[in-house]
Structures are given as structure tokens and as C-alpha cells.
A and B are shown apart, each in its own frame.
Chain A
Amino acid sequence: MSVLVIAEHDNAHLNDATRAAVTAAKALGGDIHILVAGHNAGAVAQGAAQIDGVAKVLHADSEALDKRLAEAMEGVVLSLAEGYDALLTPASTSGKNFMPRIAAKLDVMQISDIIAVEAPDTFVRPVYAGNALQTVKSSDAKKVITVRPTTFEKAGDQGACAIETVDAGTPAAASRFVGEELSKSDRPELASAKIVVSGGRGVGSAENFAIIESLADTIGAAVGASRAAVDAGYVPNDYQVGQTGKVVAPDLYIAIGISGAIQHLAGMKDSKVIVAINKDEEAPIFSVADYGLVADLFTAVPEFEAALKG
């Protein structure tokens, strides 16, 4: 058995979700190799070599791999796939984008967003927005898997293993990177933050969202939002926590002015401790909250923040 984990990174930093994918790979058994495909991503390859359990890092470098577009990723991963029994990558927007292409070319049914490994061919994955868990057994000779990073521990460190340079392959089709607009923030990243403060429709406006952001900054938290708040235009879509947004599982999740629609709960119910502040005591969010405070957020949140500062 040998497993290839495809690293998530931005050419400068290795994303921690890769460590969660390595933990899932360990559960499959066998040798674990990591592919770092990128452009000028030598530091990432060195970081990957230090993840506990990794036997070898494969480093593919080309300009075409700079943004890890799906067509270029298909080229490089397919050129390596033959040597492996399983291919894994985090279920990030990047992994979700390129991995099914590889599965299709290998004539394999991808197993998306796994949350547990029961056996090397049997996996658990959420369906119906997390309202049900499906245990599936794959009959494909090769497994192609995306891993939900929040449900696996992050693999620790080891003494660095070898790094081997591999061919970057040929992109499967032509798409061209035009530009990107990334939210700039000194706050922790939403998907991996220890504390998340989220606002919902109850916050009322984009201006009022400053209340949420201010609390988040006081306690070093990431800022999230419900789909309702995104739909209402209070915050950009990449703040969205939920089945159609990001799935988070921080130590502390503070839901403010969020009613708790099924689709939002699916994105945060694995948080260790959940706090809900909402003036509607019937709001479904209270049914999953460890600590509920029925109060007007415009008075309670500043008071909460002041108490934590003091």
C-alpha cells in the first residue's frame, strides 16, 4: 500500500489542512508520500518533509502550477498516479476543484469530504448537509479521496525526509489565471482558527458588523457569518460558515444574531464549545449551544467585549 497526499499551499506556506490529510492517509496504512506542486515552492516542500509519517516529498515546479489550476494539477498528478493505491487531498476549494478531474481520468469514483476511515476501502462522509452520515465501501482499485480537514488531527513533526524533484507534467487543457482578490486580514484564518465569532442577519447591516469584528479582534478570533448575512450583503461570501460555505470546528464558536438554519449548523456543530447570543429565545441555534444568552446583541456584545478586555 502506498498513498500520495497532495499538499495544499500557496507556494510560500504549507496549509495545515495538509497535516489533517496525512493523518487520514496514516489510517489507510502504507508508505505516505506528499506531492508539492507549485512554483517556487521550495520552502513548502521542506515544510512537508517534516510532517510526521511522510516517507518522501515529491516536488513539482513549473509556472503552470503557480496557482494550482485544475488542468495543470490533473497533468502532474496523473503522471504520478500509477505508483499509488490511494490519492488524498484536503477538501478545500482547491482540492475540490482539481481532484474529481483526476478521479475521472483514472475511471474512479471519488470519495468526497471523508470524516473517518473505517478500513482502507471504507469511509464515512456527510451527506444531506450533514444531516446524515454515509459509510461507503469503494470497489475501485485506486482510491481518490478528499478529506474534511477539521475532523482529522493534524499530523505532528519529524526529522525531515527526502525531497525528490518530479516532472510537472502537461496541463490537460488551457485556462489562464487573470487575477485574484483575497480578503486581507490580520485575523486568523477562518477554517483553522481556535475561536470564531460569527454574525447573522440579526446584525442588521454591513456597518453593524463592526461589532462582530471588534469582539473578534479583542479575543484573537476569526470572523464568520451565516449565509443570511452573506446574502444580505453584510460581508463577503468567504466569511460564510455552513454546508455551502466553510466547515469549521474551533474550540469556541460564538454565534451572534444567527437563528441557526440547518445549513449553518452543518458548518459549525462540531465546534468544541458553542455560545449563542440571540434575542429570540426560540431560535434553533440554542438547541446546539452550550451557553445561550437571550439578549439584544447590540447591548450584550459590547458588554461581553468590555468584560473580556477588563
Chain B
Amino acid sequence: MKILVPVKRVVDYNVKVRVKPDQSDVDLANVKMSMNPFCEIAVEEAIRLKEKGLAEEIITVSIGPAQAQETLRTALAMGADRGILVQTDQTTEPLAVAKILAKVVEAEGPSLVILGKQAIDDDANQTGQMLAALLGWPQATFASEVKLDGEALEVTREIDGGLQTLAMSLPAIVTTDLRLNEPRYASLPNIMKAKKKPIDTKTPDDFGEDITPRLQVLKVSEPAKREAGIKVENVTQLVDKLKNEAGVL
């Protein structure tokens, strides 16, 4: 069984992004980029399934600029077997990404695709669900536990108010939530080994997909800043302020 794990190169989650003065976008010049944290969890889960003998091969794919190759190398260093880079400098929206991934799935024939539930740049939370729809596959989003027994997949999901467990047969789509696992760090020997693992480079044209964005970004602005209020001396003063000044108690 093959597992496909799409990964996205995004601004590192520790970076506080700033909006450009001309409001055209956020400023990503000289900013640290990393693998999207939810994608890391997806890579980790695939590796764990392989380590349990439930999968033979893990293929990782990234759609983005040439530097997305580094993101693929990270996945390979963690334990993925080979990579596919679909290279483009154009903005790729989730719909375009899902269409390309559907073609990759057709070509590679994985039984399971594990993706992060959302990327921490556009926060769209769509790609996995869109891919499932395009393929006509069942989906288990926001997974906190994945159990695989042959073709039978059972996934526990993080939903509003608690947890939900779904069952489905492969092929299927899983998207990861935070508590699914804690991704490993790649060891130095594995980083060295990953340099020799194959990465196949393609372009969106190879898949015959039109990736023209459907959304035009008119403006990127700073959210309204919240001003710091006052420090109160003690609990009595706090209660007084909340009752008499703010009127919320």
C-alpha cells in the first residue's frame, strides 16, 4: 500500500508576519520558512503506519517554488521514500492544488492520502476535503487517532464539543489535527540519506490543470490593534472595575 503525503512550505510558525506598507501582501522577504506544522504531523503519521508494516511506500509531494524542494527534503529526512515537486511560482489556491493532487493520485495510485488540516499561511482548511470530493473518496478530517486494519480505516476526529469516530474503507483521505502525534526530528544521518532520495520535478502544465487563481487579493491589512488597558493593584480593584467601569459582571 502506498501513502501520499502532500506538504506545504509556509512561513515558520514562530514568525510574526508583518503587512507590507503598500498593503499588497505580508512581507516574506528574509523570513524563515518551514514545513507547515499540520503537514509535519501528516508525514509523521504516514511513517508510523509504515513502521507498523501497514504501508510499503510513502510518497511526498509539494506544489510551490523551487525552494519547496527543501520542504520535501525535510519529509524525506523524516522517513518518506521519494518526492515529487510540482514547481510553480504562481500562487496556487487550494482548489488548484487539489486538482493537481488528484492527478498525482491517479498516476501514483496511493490508497491513503494524509494531509494537514490547514496551512498556517492562508488558513483555508480546504485542500483535503476538495481532493476527497474530486476523487469521490470518503474523508476523515481533523484526525486525532488513525487505526488501519487492512482496508478498514477508523479515525477519531476533533469536532466542536468533543470527539467523533468514523469508519471507512480505503482509498480515503485523512487530514491531521494537532493531537494526532508529535512529529520526530530528523537525525543527521537521515538528513544525509535524504539527500540521495529521489525527487521528481514537474510543472502544473504536466498535469494539464489550469491553476489561475479564482480569488483576487485586493488588499492585505493589519487587524485593528487592541490597546493595552490598565494594571489593577488587587482583586478588589479588579472586581470594582469590572462591575462599575466595564459593566460586564
- Chain A interface (Cβ < 8 Å from any Cβ of B): 67, 69-71, 74, 92-94, 96-105, 107-113, 122, 125-140, 172-183, 189, 191, 195, 219, 227, 230-231, 236-238, 243-244, 246, 251-252, 262-263, 269, 272-275, 281, 286-295, 300, 303-304, 307-308
Whether B123 and A304, one on each chain, are in contact in the complex, defined by CB atoms closer than 8 angstroms, is no
Give the contacts of B129-185 with A (CB-CB under 8 A).
Answer: 129-134, 136-142, 144, 154, 157-169, 172, 177-179
Whether B129 and A69, one on each chain, are in contact in the complex, defined by CB atoms closer than 8 angstroms, is no
Stretch at the interface among B73-81, B90-98, B187-195: B90-98
Q: Provide the residues of chain B in CB contact with A122, threshold 8 Å.
A: 218
Q: How far is the CA of A189 from the CA of B160 in the complex (A)?
A: 10
* A236 to B, closest residue via Cβ: B162
Whether A70 and B132, one on each chain, are in contact in the complex, defined by CB atoms closer than 8 angstroms, is yes
Whether B167 and A175, one on each chain, are in contact in the complex, defined by CB atoms closer than 8 angstroms, is yes
Q: Provide the residues of chain B in CB contact with A129, threshold 8 Å.
A: 120, 123
Whether A112 and B136, one on each chain, are in contact in the complex, defined by CB atoms closer than 8 angstroms, is no
Q: How far is the CA of A243 from the CA of B179 in the complex (A)?
A: 15
Q: Is B22 an interface residue (CB 8 A)?
A: no
Q: Mask for B112-130, Cβ within 8 A of A = 1, else 0?
A: 0000000011111111111
> Among B144, B218, B226, B234, which residue has its beta carbon within 8 angstroms of that of A135?
B218
Q: How far is the CA of A173 from the CA of B154 in the complex (A)?
A: 15
The distance from the CB of A15 to the nearest CB of chain B, in whole angstroms, is 9
The distance from the CB of B179 to the nearest CB of chain A, in whole angstroms, is 6
- Extra contacts, 7 of them, besides A131-B223, A132-B220, A138-B214 (Cβ < 8 A), are A70-B132, A96-B129, A102-B133, A105-B133, A107-B95, A182-B162, A294-B231
The distance from the CB of A12 to the nearest CB of chain B, in whole angstroms, is 13
Q: How far is the CA of A174 from the CA of B153 in the complex (A)?
A: 12
Whether A252 and B242, one on each chain, are in contact in the complex, defined by CB atoms closer than 8 angstroms, is yes
The distance from the CB of B94 to the nearest CB of chain A, in whole angstroms, is 7
Q: How far is the CA of A138 from the CA of B216 in the complex (A)?
A: 6
By secondary structure, the B interface counts as mixed
> Among B130, B139, B177, B229, which residue has its beta carbon within 8 angstroms of that of A103?
B130
Q: Provide the residues of chain A in CB contact with B26, threshold 8 Å.
A: 127-128, 131-132
Whether B94 and A109, one on each chain, are in contact in the complex, defined by CB atoms closer than 8 angstroms, is yes
Q: Provide the residues of chain A in CB contact with B98, threshold 8 Å.
A: 104
Q: Mask for B1-22, Cβ within 8 A of A = 1, else 0?
A: 0000000000101001101000
A-B pairs, top 7 by smallest CB distance, nearest first, are A290-B229, A109-B214, A100-B129, A104-B130, A101-B133, A182-B162, A100-B126
> Among B217, B235, B241, which residue has its beta carbon within 8 angstroms of that of A307?
B235
Q: How far is the CA of A308 from the CA of B242 in the complex (A)?
A: 11
Q: Provide the residues of chain B in CB contact with A237, threshold 8 Å.
A: 144, 158, 177-179
Whether B166 and A304, one on each chain, are in contact in the complex, defined by CB atoms closer than 8 angstroms, is no
Whether A291 and B242, one on each chain, are in contact in the complex, defined by CB atoms closer than 8 angstroms, is yes
Whether B222 and A67, one on each chain, are in contact in the complex, defined by CB atoms closer than 8 angstroms, is no
Q: How far is the CA of A227 from the CA of B178 in the complex (A)?
A: 10
The distance from the CB of B7 to the nearest CB of chain A, in whole angstroms, is 18
Q: Provide the residues of chain A in CB contact with B144, threshold 8 Å.
A: 237
Whether A113 and B130, one on each chain, are in contact in the complex, defined by CB atoms closer than 8 angstroms, is no
Whether B249 and A70, one on each chain, are in contact in the complex, defined by CB atoms closer than 8 angstroms, is no
Whether A292 and B231, one on each chain, are in contact in the complex, defined by CB atoms closer than 8 angstroms, is yes
